[in-house]
């Protein structure tokens, strides 16, 4: 991300996924944000609570045996 004043910040998205995503659904949600809403993703990571967001937005349903 590059700010108006020329300063930049980089987010290691793989490290974020490894830290906060517990399953493929949560990783998929983060991937969606990275590619479709990068500003919202950056805001979530820098200012929000990504773990709570992922638990709220994704639903994990294991397959029945």
Structure tokens at 39: 């500003």
Confidence (pTM):
0.78
What residues pair up with 2 in beta bridges, in sequence order? 8
Query: Phi, psi at residue 8, to the nearest 5°?
Result: -130, 155
Each domain of the chain, given as residue ranges in start order, spans 1-65
Instruction: Give the pLDDT of residue 2.
Output: 83
Give tens-digit pLDDT for 46-58: 999 999 999 898 8
Give tens-digit pLDDT for 11-35: 999 999 999 998 889 999 999 999 9
């Amino acid at each position: 991300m590059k700010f108006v004043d020329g300063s930049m910040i980089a987010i290691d998205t793989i490290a974020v996924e490894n830290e906060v995503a517990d399953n493929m659904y949560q990783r998929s949600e983060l991937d969606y944000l990275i590619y479709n809403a990068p500003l919202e993703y950056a805001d979530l990571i820098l200012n929000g609570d990504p773990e709570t967001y992922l638990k709220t937005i994704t639903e994990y349903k294991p397959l029945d045996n």
